[in-house]
């Protein structure tokens, strides 16, 4: 009897231990020996100790000044540089592009889509990207995945989603399978409210044509001013920000006047429009990597048709010039790729290559790093929770092998990824 009781207790203990491990909110980890990059451009913290309790940073400082709690698990990152988890602000986890890829995914079920998106989320995290903004996915699979990740049922970055993008009849994206189209201010307002009600934290509108669809010219203002105004007003009343797919200076200028928060791509933006964006504090998410040579092998791999490649090339030069001008004018820039964050590009990921392009276009490495971390957090109004390595913030930490404020190519090699205190990658 006594033996039975003992073994029962032992079993119970094992069971309790296992369940604690599964939802280990009290785990203490000390990341020791690394150099913590300062995003204000000040000297880094060398030989640092970061104590992580649960999902947040408890203390951070030079070794010796920080007490490592008894029983803390230690991760030795000697020789590595520590930065906040990267953020990518233009992602479609369920991305489908014209050509072979579209043919293969024809009639994809919603369940299959959700599983493909979960895989892409997992790979994004592996690439050091701990926060993403989704700028248009279908069937609310994005919102389901966001909830699953928050509950620990799936691995992936923190998700801020715009739900389904609001596209007008005949506009950019309107011919995509399974997508609802809108016409007139009333329908767009209803569309925005529907997305907000479902859990969207942003609203995305398509106000000009795009590369990937034949829905109107890239530089044309396709959505009417009253439609743009109505949808921005409707979203702002709920405290929800609005971002616009736009290649058009005219459409962008109108939308910025109505309080647009963010512009995606900006292929043909001119200096006056960029100056206006600077004045209004409007954000630009360049997604430069999609129109530049580094992504050419990607488009070959997915079997993009000739019309698509032509459209992409014709936008590429203007897009590059627009980015250079935006940097010169000091427009707020948040990093985004419009490819999967982990998509192979030029021997690295789309996210790392995008940041490298920013430096090639005129940013300092520190500015490029900020556009993938603290600036981005500021755009999301999440800077109290993430975006820097500071006490009280989420322990979203990435280790690289060089100082990225000296050489942005450091982002090409991600050694360690921690999100919310949990390690998802360790190549140290």
Nearer to Zn ion, 133 or 412 (CB): 133
Nearest CA among 347, 372, 385 for reference residue 91: 372
Shortest approach of Zn ion to residue 43 CB, angstroms? 38
User: Which of positions 239-268 make contact with Zn ion (CB under 5 A)?
Assistant: none
Report the C-alpha gap between 104 and 124 in whole angstroms. 22
Shortest approach of Zn ion to residue 40 CB, angstroms? 32
Shortest approach of Zn ion to residue 345 CB, angstroms? 16
Cα→Cα distances 64→46, 47, 397, Å: 12, 9, 21
Nearer to Zn ion, 227 or 338 (CB): 338
Shortest approach of Zn ion to residue 92 CB, angstroms? 6
Report the C-alpha gap between 330 and 34 in whole angstroms. 32
Shortest approach of Zn ion to residue 314 CB, angstroms? 18
Shortest approach of Zn ion to residue 289 CB, angstroms? 12
Nearer to Zn ion, 213 or 405 (CB): 213
- Beta strands 202-206 and 181-182 are unpaired
Q: Is 237 in contact with 198 (CB distance < 8 Å)?
A: no
Shortest approach of Zn ion to residue 91 CB, angstroms? 8
Q: Is 227 in the site for Zn ion (CB under 5 A)?
A: no
Burial group, residue 282, by CB count within 10 angstroms (0-12, 13-18, 19+): buried
Nearer to Zn ion, 165 or 235 (CB): 165
Please report how the helices 271-280 and 306-329 are oriented relative to each other, as an axis angle in degrees rounded to 10: 60
Q: What x-and-dash track marks residues 339-368 binding Zn ion by CB under 5 A?
A: ------------------------------
Nearer to Zn ion, 196 or 212 (CB): 212
Nearer to Zn ion, 58 or 285 (CB): 285
DSSP H/E element including 266: none
Q: Is 57 in contact with 391 (CB distance < 8 Å)?
A: yes
Q: Helix H segments across 294-394?
A: 296-301, 306-329, 350-360, 365-371, 374-379
Q: Is 146 in contact with 161 (CB distance < 8 Å)?
A: yes
Nearer to Zn ion, 193 or 204 (CB): 204
Report the C-alpha gap between 285 and 292 in whole angstroms. 15
Nearest CA among 389, 342, 409 for reference residue 155: 342
Report the C-alpha gap between 226 and 2 in whole angstroms. 79
Considering CB under 5 A, how many residues would be counted as binding Zn ion? 1
3-class SS shares of the chain: helix, strand, coil, % to 5: 40, 20, 40
Report the C-alpha gap between 397 and 377 in whole angstroms. 14
Place of tokens 């100056």: 275
Shortest approach of Zn ion to residue 338 CB, angstroms? 4
Nearer to Zn ion, 338 or 354 (CB): 338
Shortest approach of Zn ion to residue 133 CB, angstroms? 11
Shortest approach of Zn ion to residue 218 CB, angstroms? 13
Nearer to Zn ion, 189 or 290 (CB): 290
Report the C-alpha gap between 231 and 233 in whole angstroms. 5
Nearer to Zn ion, 137 or 338 (CB): 338
Nearer to Zn ion, 340 or 415 (CB): 340
1-33 in b/e form (b: 16+ CB < 10 A) is eeeeeeeeeeeeeeeeeeeeeeeeeebbbbbbb
Shortest approach of Zn ion to residue 113 CB, angstroms? 16
User: Which of positions 299-338 make contact with Zn ion (CB under 5 A)?
Assistant: 338
Looking at beta carbons, which residue is closest to Zn ion?
338
The footprint of Zn ion (CB under 5 A) covers 338
């Amino acid at each position: 009897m006594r033996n039975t009781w003992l073994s029962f207790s032992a079993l119970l203990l094992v069971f309790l231990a296992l369940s604690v491990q599964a939802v280990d909110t009290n785990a203490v980890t000390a990341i020791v020996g690394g150099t913590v990059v300062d995003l204000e451009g000040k000297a880094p913290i060398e030989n640092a100790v970061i104590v992580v309790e649960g999902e947040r940073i408890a203390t951070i400082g030079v070794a010796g000044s920080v007490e490592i709690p008894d029983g803390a698990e230690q991760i030795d990152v000697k020789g590595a540089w520590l930065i906040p988890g990267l953020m990518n602000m233009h992602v479609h986890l369920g991305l489908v592009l014209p050509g072979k890829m579209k043919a293969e995914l024809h009639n994809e079920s919603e369940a299959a889509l959700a599983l493909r998106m979960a895989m892409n989320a997992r790979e994004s995290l592996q690439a050091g990207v701990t926060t993403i903004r989704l700028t248009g996915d279908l069937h609310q699979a994005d919102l389901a995945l966001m909830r699953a990740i928050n509950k620990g049922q799936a691995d992936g970055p923190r998700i801020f989603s715009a739900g389904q993008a609001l596209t007008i009849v005949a506009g950019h994206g309107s011919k995509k399978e399974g997508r609802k189209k809108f016409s007139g201010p009333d329908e767009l307002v209803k569309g925005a409210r529907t997305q907000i009600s479902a859990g969207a934290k942003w609203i995305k509108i398509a106000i000009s044509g795009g590369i990937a669809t034949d829905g109107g010219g890239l530089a044309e203002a396709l959505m009417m001013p009253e439609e743009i105004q109505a949808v921005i007003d409707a979203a702002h009343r709920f405290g929800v920000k609005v971002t616009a797919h736009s290649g058009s200076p005219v459409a962008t200028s109108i939308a910025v006047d109505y309080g647009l928060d963010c512009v995606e791509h900006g292929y043909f933006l001119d200096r006056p429009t960029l100056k206006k964006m600077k004045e209004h504090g409007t954000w630009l998410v360049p997604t430069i990597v999609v129109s530049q040579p580094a992504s050419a092998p990607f488009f070959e791999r997915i079997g993009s048709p000739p019309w698509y490649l032509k459209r992409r090339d014709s936008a590429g030069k203007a897009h590059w010039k627009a980015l250079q001008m935006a940097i010169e004018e000091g427009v707020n820039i948040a990093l985004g790729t419009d490819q999967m964050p982990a998509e192979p590009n030029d021997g690295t990921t789309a996210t790392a290559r995008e940041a490298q392009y920013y430096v090639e276009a005129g940013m300092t490495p520190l500015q490029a790093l900020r556009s993938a971390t603290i600036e981005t957090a500021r755009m999301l109004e999440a800077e109290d929770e993430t975006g820097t390595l500071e006490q009280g913030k989420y322990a979203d930490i990435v280790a690289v092998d060089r100082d990225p404020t000296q050489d942005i190519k450091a982002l090409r090699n991600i050694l360690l990824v921690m999100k919310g205190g949990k390690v998802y990658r360790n190549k140290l």
